């Protein structure tokens, strides 16, 4: 089982020249504004506020990088990975110029970040697939990046309805339901499953979802 030992903020960046140099695999987290990305990162890293939760959705315009130290308990092997918190997308009050700037920032990141291993895309389990999420998936496919979909706020719907909600999202995104993991930051639903996926990804060259 993967255990997160500690984590630290490294720096914020806008373009490839500002990305922190690192020998470690990087895992990026992306999603629409107000989908619960910061809360999820805080829960994953077992920190209260290492990722800032904004009261103004769509405010973050930077890529934020963190260095994470972990331990694989069974083999007692420690290591590091980088975590990238990507700017939220899809907030209605953002101008077209800002949206275009975001799109170019993401394109540069996915193209130039050679150590990027996995992109975790967050969606709200209570809502249908969104065209903006489809846009993100298409960008990832074009750049050949591996991805996982995490459906946040799973505690907001009854447990008996989660599987159906996952199937609906999967159908809208044209993906197998196995690519979508239900998650709740407040109840820690899906946390152990997410850690298991990250563990396999960090130790294996490929992961089958």
Output the domain CATH number for residue 61.
3.40.50.300
Q: What is the pLDDT of residue 56?
A: 47
Range of the domain at 21: 2-203
Which structure tokens are listed for 182?
């239900």
Residue 107 lies in a domain: yes
User: In the chain, pLDDT over 70 holds for what percent of residues?
Assistant: 89
Backbone angles phi, psi at 19, to 5 degrees: -65, 140
Q: What is the pLDDT of residues 47-86, one digit of tens each?
A: 876 766 554 444 557 999 999 999 987 777 899 999 999 9
Residue of higher predicted confidence among 180 and 205: 180
Residue of higher predicted confidence among 6 and 97: 6
Q: What is the pLDDT of residue 51?
A: 64
pLDDT band, residue 92 (cuts 50/70/90): low
Residue 198 lies in a domain: yes
Q: Spell out the residues 6+ positions from residue 187 whose beta carbon is closer than 8 angstroms to its own.
A: 154, 155
Q: What is the pLDDT of residues 149-197, one digit of tens each?
A: 999 999 999 999 999 999 999 999 999 999 999 999 999 999 999 999 9
pTM for the model stands at 0.90
Q: Where do we find the tokens 């249908």?
A: 128
Q: What is the pLDDT of residues 97-141, one digit of tens each?
A: 887 888 899 999 999 999 999 999 999 999 998 888 999 999 999
Residue 205 pLDDT > 70: no
Residue 31 lies in a domain: yes
Q: What is the pLDDT of residue 206?
A: 38
Residue 208 lies in a domain: no
Residue 162 lies in a domain: yes
Q: Where do we find the tokens 């490839």?
A: 16
H-only helix segments in the chain = 37-45, 96-112, 131-143, 159-173, 191-203
Specify the number of domains making up the chain.
Answer: 1
Q: How far is CA 53 from CA 13, 40, 56, 151, 192, in A?
A: 18, 10, 9, 18, 22
Nearest 10 degrees: Cα torsion 187, 190, 191, 194: -160
Residue 209 lies in a domain: no
Q: 183 with 154: CB under 8 angstroms?
A: yes
Q: What distance in Å separates the CA atoms of residue 185 and residue 160, rounded to the nearest whole number?
A: 19
Residue 136 lies in a domain: yes
């Amino acid at each position: 089982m993967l255990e997160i030992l500690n984590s630290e903020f490294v720096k914020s960046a806008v373009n490839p020249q500002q990305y922190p140099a690192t020998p470690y695999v990087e895992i990026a987290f992306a999603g629409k504004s107000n989908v619960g990305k910061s809360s999820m990162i805080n829960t994953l890293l077992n920190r209260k506020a290492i990722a800032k939760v904004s009261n103004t959705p769509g405010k973050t315009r930077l890529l934020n990088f963190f260095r994470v130290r972990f331990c694989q308990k069974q083999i007692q092997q420690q290591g590091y990975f980088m975590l990238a918190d990507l700017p939220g997308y899809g907030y209605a009050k953002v101008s077209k110029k800002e949206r275009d700037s975001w799109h170019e920032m993401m394109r540069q990141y996915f193209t130039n970040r050679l150590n990027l291993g996995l992109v975790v895309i967050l969606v709200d389990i209570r809502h249908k697939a969104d065209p903006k999420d489809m846009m993100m998936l298409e960008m990832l496919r074009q750049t050949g990046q591996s991805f996982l979909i995490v459906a946040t706020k799973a505690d907001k719907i009854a447990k008996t309805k989660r599987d159906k909600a996952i199937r609906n999202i999967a159908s809208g995104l044209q993906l197998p339901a196995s690519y979508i993991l239900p998650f709740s930051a407040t109840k820690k639903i899906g946390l152990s499953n997410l850690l298991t996926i990250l563990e396999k990804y960090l130790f294996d060259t490929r992961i089958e979802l």
